[in-house]
C-alpha cells in the first residue's frame, strides 16, 4: 500500500487555450496525508493502548490501521466514546502477495460528527478476527459475507456460515486465487459424480487460477 | 436372476426365511423407538418450520425465509439469501472502471441510475474530478426520476401483497411514463448505464425537459389517487399500523437506512446530511414519521415521491446549457488509494468502497447494499407477528434481491 | 295445454335454473368481472376471444374441461370427488326459493317466476347455504395436504362465523314481515309501499357485508388469496373440479345478491310503483327490475374486489364476532321497539326509516367534515425543515 500517487497519462494542466477547455477544470490531484495527529486517532490511541498502527487521510476520509486483536475494543471505544454508532459496512481486501494477506475493513459513521471513519486491520490467512457483531448488530451479515467471500473467520460470531454462496460450496470466491470463471465445486452441484463433500483437489488442472 | 427356471424347494425356504428375518428386523427397529415419541396429532400445538420461498407469489426476488411458527405466530425467521449471487464484485476486478458501470445497473435493478451514480461518485472521488453543473443537475433529475420509479414499484407490489390490487396498475401507468423518459435519454428502460465517470454520456434531447415538466406537474394529483385508495383506508391501516414496529435507536443499531430509518423518527438523509452533486442548493423536505411501523414507512415513501417531484422541478429551473462531462483522462487510472462514497438510493445508503492499485482496473470494489443490511433486521421486525404480516414486512423493507445478493 | 301442469312447469323451471344460471356465471359474470376490474384498473380486460372478448367464458370452459384431472396420491377419492359437488349444489338449490318475478303469462301458460314458494323460504336458504361449508372443509381435508387443510379450516371458520350476523340481520327483517316466505316478504313490501332497506338499513349493511364474507370475497378472501402462504382449500383441484368450486363461489354470490334484493330491495318491485309520476318505470318488466338490482349487488362485489386490501384472518374474525354480532343484536332490539311502539300499524317502520336515513346522512357528512379538517395534520410528514409538502 505505497503512498505514492501515480500520474494519469494525460496530466491535465489548466490550459490557456480558448473557450472549450476553460469550461472543464482539471481533476485536482488529491493527496493523502498522514493523520496520526487526528483527534479521533489520538482518542483511539489513548483509550486502547497498542492498537493503532498507522493512520491516513485521503479525500477527507480518515483511515486508521489497528492491530487485529484490538479491533473489538477499538470498535467499542468508537461506539461509546466517539459516537460512531452506525456500522456502515464490514468487508475485506485480499492483498495476495503481501504478508499478512488480508485487510479487514470497517466503516463507521457518526451522526453527531456527520462523518465516517475507516478502520482496517491486517489478518493473515488462517488467523481469526474478533467479531464486532455483539457491539454492532449491523455487522452480523457483513461479517458472514466476509467469511464466505474471503475465508476470514470471526471469533465470537453467533452464526458464522455461508450467506451468499450455497451449502456445500468449497472455496472463497473473492480471493485472488479463485478464478473468475468459477470452479467445479464438486459434490455440491454434481452429487452423482463426487462423493459426499468431495470435489476437485486444489492441484487439479480443472481449477483455473487468475494471474 | 438370469434363469427363468422355477425355484427349488430349498430356494423357496431360503426366500421365506429371508423375508421373516427382514420383518423381524423391522419390528425390532420400530420397537426400539421410545414409546413417548408418538406422532403428533392435528390439535397438539407444535412448532412448525416452514419454507417461505424462494419462489412465492409475493416475490420481491428469490428470497427464502425459513420461519419457525407456532400456529400462525412467527417465532423465528431466518432469511436465506444468495439465490441471485452473480459475483459482481469479482467481475469488477476483471474489468476497467468504465466497464463496471453496466454491472452496477444490475444491482438494484429497479433503480439503476442511483447505482450508476454511486459508482461514478466513488471513482470521481478517487480521481478528484469536478463535475460540471449541468451534469450535476441532470444527474439529480435522473436520480429522482429513479426514486419515483422505485417507489412506484414498491407501492404497487406492496398493495398487491396486502390485497389492494388497483394501486399497482395506477403506479405502473406512471412508471411507464418514467421509463419512456429514460428510454429516450439513454436507450434503456431498466438497466440504464446512464452515467459516466465525470458526468453523463449524452445530453438531453429536445423536448425531453418540456415533457418532463408536464409529467412532474401531473404527478401530485396521481399520487393523490394512490393515497385516496390507501392512506385513509381502514383495512389498509389495520394491516399496516403497528406491524413491524422498530425504534430509531434499533434502526441505527442494525444499520438500517433509508425510508425505514426515517419512518422510525430519525431524520437522516444523505442528500441533506452529506450532500453530493448540488443537493445543498435545493429546497426539499425530508419526510419523517415517529411510530416506526409499516404505515409510517408507507407515508414516508409516498411523501418522498412528492418531494422528488419538487426536486425535479427545481433542477429543471436551474438547467443551463453547459458541459455534461468533466475533464477525465481517457484511461482511468486512479491513484493508489482507497475511498468510500455513498448516496441516498431509494432503499437507503448505497455506497461503494474502492481500492485502487494504480492500474485501470479496480483492485477491490465493494458494494455496500442497503437492501442487504436492511434485510438483516427482518427477523427482528417479524418476531411475534403473524405469517400474514410477514408479507407486509418484506414489502415494507423494500428489498431488491439483486442488491442483496450481488 | 294439459301437458304443462304446474308440476311439469316446476320441473321446467328447475332445469332452466340449473342450466341457465351456471351459463350466466360462466359466460357473463366472469367476463364482466374481469372487464370491470380492468376498467377500474386503467387497463382493458380480456378482449381477444370473440367480439369484444364476449366468448372468453367459452374459452375458459373449454380450458377447464380439457385440463388433466389430477387426484393427489393419497387423497380420499370419494370425498375428494364429492367436495366440489357439495359446494355447487347447495348454492344452486337455494335459487329454488327465490322469487324472480310475479306471475307471468306466456301464451296460455300462466306461471309464477319462482320454482316454489315454501313458507319457510328464508330458513331454507340459511340452512342450505350452511351446507355449502361442507364442500370447503371436505375439499381441504380430502386433498391430503397440510396447507389445504389449514386453509379449508380457516375458510370454514370464517363462513360459520359470518352466518350468525347474517342470520340475525335477517331476523330483524323477519320482525317486519312476520313471515319466512320469500314471496310473502316481497308482497309485504309492496303492500307497505316500503322497501325494507329503509327501516332495516343497519340490517342491510350487516347482511351484505356478511354475505361478502360468506362467499370468501375480497376484503374477506384471505383463505384463498394467492399471496398468502397457504393457497387455500382448492390448491389441489384442477379442471372440472376447480371449475365447480369456482362456480359454487359465484353461484353463492348470486344467491346472496338475490336474497338481498328480495328481502331488502323489494324483489321485483319497481321503485315507487304507486306514484303516478313513476309509472313509466313499468316499461321494464318486474323480472328486469330484479335483474337490475341483482346486477347492482354483483357490481358491488366486483367493486369491493378492486378497491379494498384484505383483512388479516384474526381481524376478520374479530370483526365478525366483536362488532357485527353485537350490532346485529342491537338492531333486532331497535326494530322490535319500533314495531311495538305502533301496534297494528306500520308507522313505526316509517319512523325508523326516517331516523336511520337521517343518521346515515349525518354520519356521512360528519365523516367528510372530519376528513377535511384533519387533512393537513394527517398527511403531514414531520420534518424539521418545515417546507410545504407538495
Per DSSP, C389 falls in state P
Instruction: From chain B, pick out residues whose CB is under 8 angstroms from the CB of A163.
Output: 81-82
Segments of B100-226 assigned E as strands: none
Return residues 264-283 of C near B (CB < 8 Å).
none
Segments of B15-83 assigned E as strands: 47-52, 64-70, 73-80
pLDDT of residue A14: 39
Per-residue pLDDT of B292-322, as tens digits, reads: 899 999 999 999 999 999 999 999 999 989 8
* A155 occurs within a structural domain: yes
At C358, phi and psi to the nearest 5?
A: -65, -45
Instruction: From chain C, pick out residues whose CB is under 8 angstroms from the CB of B230.
Output: 309
Number of domains in chain B: 1
Per residue, the 3-state secondary structure of A42-82, as one string, reads: HHHHHHCCCCEEEEEEECCEEEEEECHHHHHHHHHHHHHCC
pLDDT of residue C388: 40
* Residue B211 pLDDT > 90: yes
* Residue B210 pLDDT > 70: yes
* B70 occurs within a structural domain: yes
* C144 occurs within a structural domain: yes
* Residue A128 pLDDT > 50: yes
Task: For residues C213-242, give the mean pLDDT.
Answer: 74
Q: Phi/psi zone of residue C68: left (φ > 0), alpha (ψ -120 to 50 degrees), beta?
A: beta
Number of domains in chain C: 1
Task: Provide ipTM, 2 decimals.
Answer: 0.84
CATH assignment of the domain containing B309: 1.10.645.10
Residue B109 cell numbers, joined: 435493478
Task: For residues C202-209, give the mean pLDDT.
Answer: 93
Per-residue confidence at A202, pLDDT binned at 50, 70, 90?
Answer: low
Q: Which residue of B has its CA nearest to A88?
A: B255
Instruction: From chain A, pick out residues whose CB is under 8 angstroms from the CB of B352.
Output: none
Which of B81, B337, B368 is nearest residue A164 as measured by Cβ atoms? B81
Instruction: Find chains touching chain B: ≥3 CB pairs under 8 Å.
Output: A, C
Closest CA to A137 of B81, B79, B250, B394: B250
pLDDT of residue A19: 41
Closest CA to C264 of C318, C345, C335, C315: C335
* C386 occurs within a structural domain: no
Q: Which residue of C has its CA nearest to B290?
A: C382
CATH assignment of the domain containing A67: 3.30.460.80
Look up the domain containing B88 and give its range. 51-405
Per-residue confidence at C331, pLDDT binned at 50, 70, 90?
Answer: very high
* Residue B366 pLDDT > 80: yes
* B46 occurs within a structural domain: no
Q: Which residue of A has its CA nearest to B401?
A: A164
Q: Which residues contact B3 (CB under 8 A, 6 or more apart)?
A: none
C43 touches chain B (CB under 8 A): yes
- For residues A18 and B358, the model is more confident at B358
* C27 occurs within a structural domain: yes
Per-residue pLDDT of C122-174, as tens digits, reads: 899 999 988 988 888 888 888 777 777 777 888 888 999 999 999 999 999 88
At B344, phi and psi to the nearest 5?
A: -90, 100
C311 touches chain B (CB under 8 A): yes
Per DSSP, A188 falls in state G
* B45 occurs within a structural domain: no
Contact B303, B287 (CB under 8 A): yes
* C331 occurs within a structural domain: yes
Instruction: From chain A, pick out residues whose CB is under 8 angstroms from the CB of B82.
Output: 162-166
Contact A39, A81 (CB under 8 A): no
Per-residue pLDDT of B59-98, as tens digits, reads: 577 888 888 888 778 888 888 898 889 989 999 999 999 9
Q: Phi/psi zone of residue A30: left (φ > 0), alpha (ψ -120 to 50 degrees), beta?
A: beta
* Residue B326 pLDDT > 60: yes
Per-residue pLDDT of C57-75, as tens digits, reads: 888 888 888 988 888 777 7
* A64 occurs within a structural domain: yes
* B324 occurs within a structural domain: yes
pLDDT of residue B298: 93
Residue C124 cell numbers, joined: 331454507
* B23 occurs within a structural domain: no
* C62 occurs within a structural domain: yes
Mean pLDDT of chain A: 78
Task: For residues C359-381, give the mean pLDDT.
Answer: 80
Task: For residues C256-260, give the mean pLDDT.
Answer: 93
* C383 occurs within a structural domain: no
Mean pLDDT of chain C: 84
The answer to whether the CB atoms of A107 and B93 lie below 8 A apart is no
The answer to whether the CB atoms of A27 and B329 lie below 8 A apart is yes
* C101 occurs within a structural domain: yes
Q: Which range among A151-165, A168-182, C45-59, C227-241 shows the weakest confidence by mean pLDDT?
A: C227-241
* A91 occurs within a structural domain: yes
A to B contact (≥3 Cβ pairs closer than 8 Å): yes
Buried b / exposed e over C230-261, threshold 16 CB at 10 Å, is bbbbbbbbeeebbbbbbbbbbbbbbbbbbbbb
Closest CA to C158 of C209, C220, C245: C220
* Residue C81 pLDDT > 90: no
Look up the domain containing A129 and give its range. 30-163
Instruction: From chain C, pick out residues whose CB is under 8 angstroms from the CB of B52.
Output: 229
Residue C44 cell numbers, joined: 382493458
Q: Which residues contact C322 (CB under 8 A, 6 or more apart)?
A: none
The neighbour count for residue B250, using CB atoms within 10 Å, is 16
The answer to whether the CB atoms of A2 and B339 lie below 8 A apart is no
* B27 occurs within a structural domain: no
CA–CA distance, A20 with B200 (Å, rounded to integer): 17
Per-residue pLDDT of B174-204, as tens digits, reads: 999 999 999 999 999 999 999 999 889 999 9
Can you tell me whether residue A110 is helix, strand or coil?
strand
CA–CA distance, C243 with C131 (Å, rounded to integer): 19
Number of domains in chain A: 1
Contact B300, B266 (CB under 8 A): no
Buried b / exposed e over B390-404, threshold 16 CB at 10 Å, is bbbbbbbbbbbbbbb
* C115 occurs within a structural domain: yes
Confidence (pTM):
0.85
* B268 occurs within a structural domain: yes
The answer to whether the CB atoms of C42 and B284 lie below 8 A apart is no
Q: How far is B64 from chain A, CA to nearest CA, in Å?
A: 12
Per-residue confidence at B7, pLDDT binned at 50, 70, 90?
Answer: low
* B39 occurs within a structural domain: no
The answer to whether the CB atoms of C381 and B285 lie below 8 A apart is yes
CA distances from B345 to B119, B148, B301, B369 (A): 12, 11, 12, 10
Look up the domain containing C124 and give its range. 6-368
Burial class (CB in 10 A: 0-12, 13-18, 19+), C342: middle
CA–CA distance, A184 with C274 (Å, rounded to integer): 87
Amino acid at each position: 500500500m505505497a503512498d505514492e500517487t501515480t500520474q494519469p497519462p494525460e496530466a491535465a494542466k489548466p490550459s490557456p487555450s480558448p473557450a472549450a477547455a476553460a469550461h472543464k477544470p482539471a481533476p485536482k490531484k488529491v493527496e493523502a496525508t498522514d493523520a496520526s495527529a487526528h483527534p479521533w486517532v489520538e482518542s483511539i490511541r489513548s483509550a486502547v493502548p497498542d492498537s493503532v498502527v498507522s493512520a491516513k487521510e485521503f479525500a477527507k476520509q480518515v483511515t486508521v490501521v489497528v492491530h487485529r486483536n484490538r479491533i473489538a475494543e477499538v470498535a467499542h471505544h468508537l461506539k461509546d466514546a466517539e459516537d460512531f454508532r452506525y456500522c456502515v459496512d464490514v468487508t475485506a481486501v485480499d492483498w495476495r502477495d503481501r504478508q499478512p494477506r488480508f485487510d479487514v475493513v470497517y466503516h463507521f459513521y457518526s451522526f453527531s460528527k456527520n462523518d465516517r471513519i475507516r478502520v482496517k486491520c491486517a489478518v493473515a490467512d488462517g488467523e481469526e478476527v474478533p467479531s464486532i457483531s455483539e457491539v454492532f448488530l449491523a455487522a452480523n451479515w457483513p461479517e458472514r459475507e466476509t467469511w464466505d467471500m474471503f475465508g476470514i473467520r470471526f471469533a465470537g460470531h453467533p452464526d458464522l456460515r455461508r450467506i451468499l454462496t450455497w451449502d456445500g460450496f468449497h472455496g472463497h470466491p473473492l480471493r485472488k486465487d479463485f478464478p473468475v470463471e468459477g470452479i467445479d465445486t464438486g459434490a455440491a452441484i454434481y452429487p452423482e459424480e463426487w462423493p459426499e463433500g468431495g470435489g476437485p483437489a486444489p492441484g487439479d488442472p480443472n481449477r483455473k487460477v487468475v494471474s | 436372476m438370469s434363469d427363468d427356471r422355477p425355484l427349488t424347494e430349498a430356494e423357496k425356504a431360503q426366500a421365506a426365511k429371508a423375508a421373516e428375518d427382514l420383518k423381524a428386523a423391522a419390528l425390532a427397529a420400530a420397537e426400539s423407538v421410545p414409546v413417548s415419541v408418538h406422532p403428533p396429532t392435528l390439535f397438539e400445538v407444535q412448532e412448525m418450520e416452514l419454507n417461505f420461498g424462494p419462489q412465492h407469489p409475493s416475490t420481491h426476488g428469490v428470497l427464502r425465509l425459513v420461519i419457525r411458527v407456532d400456529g400462525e405466530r412467527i417465532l423465528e425467521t431466518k432469511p436465506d439469501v444468495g439465490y441471485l449471487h452473480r459475483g459482481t464484485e469479482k467481475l469488477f476486478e476483471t474489468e476497467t472502471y468504465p466497464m463496471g458501470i453496466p454491472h452496477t445497473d444490475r444491482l438494484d435493478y429497479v433503480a439503476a441510475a442511483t447505482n450508476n451514480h454511486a459508482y461514478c461518485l466513488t471513482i470521481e472521488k478517487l480521481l478528484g474530478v469536478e463535475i460540471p453543473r449541468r451534469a450535476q443537475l441532470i444527474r439529480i433529475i435522473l436520480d429522482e426520476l429513479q426514486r419515483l420509479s422505485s417507489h412506484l414499484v414498491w407501492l404497487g407490489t406492496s398493495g398487491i401483497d396486502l390485497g389492494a390490487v388497483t394501486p399497482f396498475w395506477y403506479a405502473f401507468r406512471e412508471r411507464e411514463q418514467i421509463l419512456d423518459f429514460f428510454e429516450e435519454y439513454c436507450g434503456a428502460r431498466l438497466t440504464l448505464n446512464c452515467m459516466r465517470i465525470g458526468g453523463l454520456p449524452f445530453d438531453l434531447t429536445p423536448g425531453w425537459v418540456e415533457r418532463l415538466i408536464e409529467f412532474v406537474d401531473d404527478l401530485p394529483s396521481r399520487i393523490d389517487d394512490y393515497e385516496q385508495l390507501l392512506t385513509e383506508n381502514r383495512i389498509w391501516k389495520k394491516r399496516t399500523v403497528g406491524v413491524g414496529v422498530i425504534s430509531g435507536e434499533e434502526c441505527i443499531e442494525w444499520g438500517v437506512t433509508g425510508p425505514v430509518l426515517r419512518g422510525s423518527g430519525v431524520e437522516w438523509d444523505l442528500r441533506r446530511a452529506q450532500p453530493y452533486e448540488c443537493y445543498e442548493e435545493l429546497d426539499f423536505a425530508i419526510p419523517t414519521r415517529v411510530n416506526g411501523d409499516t404505515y409510517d414507512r408507507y407515508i414516508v415513501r409516498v411523501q418522498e415521491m412528492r418531494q422528488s417531484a419538487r426536486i425535479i422541478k427545481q433542477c429543471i429551473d436551474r438547467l443551463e446549457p453547459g458541459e455534461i462531462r468533466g475533464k477525465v483522462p481517457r484511461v482511468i487510472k486512479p491513484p493508489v488509494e482507497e475511498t468510500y462514497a455513498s448516496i441516498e438510493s431509494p432503499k437507503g445508503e448505497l455506497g461503494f468502497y474502492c481500492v485502487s492499485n494504480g492500474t485501470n482496473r479496480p483492485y477491490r470494489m465493494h458494494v455496500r447494499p442497503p437492501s442487504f443490511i436492511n434485510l438483516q433486521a427482518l427477523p427482528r421486525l417479524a418476531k411475534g407477528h403473524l405469517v400474514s404480516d410477514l408479507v407486509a414486512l418484506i414489502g415494507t423493507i423494500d428489498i431488491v434481491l439483486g442488491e442483496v445478493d450481488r | 295445454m294439459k301437458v304443462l301442469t304446474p308440476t311439469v312447469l316446476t320441473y321446467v323451471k328447475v332445469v332452466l335454473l340449473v342450466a341457465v344460471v351456471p351459463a350466466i356465471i360462466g359466460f357473463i359474470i366472469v367476463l364482466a368481472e374481469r372487464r370491470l376490474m380492468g376498467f377500474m384498473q386503467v387497463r382493458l380486460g380480456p378482449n381477444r376471444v370473440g367480439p369484444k372478448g364476449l366468448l372468453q367464458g367459452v374459452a375458459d370452459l373449454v380450458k377447464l374441461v380439457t385440463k388433466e384431472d389430477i387426484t393427489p396420491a393419497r387423497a380420499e377419492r370419494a370425498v375428494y370427488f364429492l367436495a366440489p359437488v357439495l359446494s355447487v349444489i347447495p348454492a344452486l338449490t337455494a335459487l329454488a326459493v327465490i322469487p324472480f318475478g310475479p306471475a307471468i303469462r306466456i301464451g296460455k301458460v300462466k306461471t309464477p317466476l319462482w320454482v316454489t314458494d315454501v313458507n319457510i323460504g328464508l330458513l331454507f336458504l340459511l340452512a342450505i347455504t350452511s351446507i355449502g361449508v361442507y364442500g370447503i372443509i371436505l375439499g381441504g381435508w380430502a386433498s391430503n395436504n397440510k396447507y389445504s387443510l389449514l386453509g379449508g379450516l380457516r375458510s370454514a371458520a370464517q363462513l360459520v362465523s359470518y352466518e350468525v350476523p347474517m342470520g340475525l340481520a335477517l331476523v330483524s327483517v323477519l320482525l317486519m314481515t312476520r313471515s319466512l316466505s320469500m314471496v310473502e316478504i316481497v308482497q309485504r313490501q309492496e303492500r307497505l309501499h316500503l322497501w325494507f332497506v329503509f327501516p332495516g338499513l343497519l340490517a342491510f349493511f350487516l347482511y351484505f357485508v356478511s354475505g361478502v364474507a360468506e362467499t370468501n370475497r375480497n376484503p374477506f378472501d384471505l383463505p384463498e388469496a394467492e399471496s398468502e402462504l397457504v393457497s387455500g382449500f382448492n390448491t389441489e383441484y384442477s379442471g372440472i373440479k376447480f371449475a365447480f368450486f369456482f362456480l359454487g363461489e359465484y353461484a353463492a354470490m348470486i344467491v346472496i345478491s338475490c336474497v338481498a334484493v328480495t328481502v331488502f330491495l323489494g324483489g321485483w318491485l319497481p321503485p315507487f310503483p304507486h306514484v303516478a309520476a313513476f309509472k313509466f318505470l313499468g316499461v321494464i318488466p318486474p323480472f328486469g327490475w330484479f335483474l337490475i338490482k341483482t346486477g347492482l349487488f354483483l357490481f358491488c362485489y366486483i367493486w369491493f374486489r378492486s378497491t379494498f386490501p384484505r383483512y388479516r384472518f384474526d381481524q376478520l374474525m374479530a370483526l365478525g364476532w366483536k362488532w357485527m354480532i353485537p350490532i346485529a343484536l342491537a338492531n333486532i332490539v331497535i326494530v322490535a321497539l319500533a314495531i311495538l311502539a305502533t301496534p297494528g300499524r306500520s308507522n313505526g317502520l316509517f319512523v325508523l326509516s326516517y331516523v336511520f336515513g337521517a343518521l346515515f346522512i349525518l354520519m356521512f357528512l360528519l365523516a367528510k367534515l372530519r376528513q377535511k379538517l384533519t387533512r393537513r395534520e394527517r398527511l403531514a410528514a414531520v420534518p424539521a425543515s418545515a417546507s410545504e409538502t407538495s
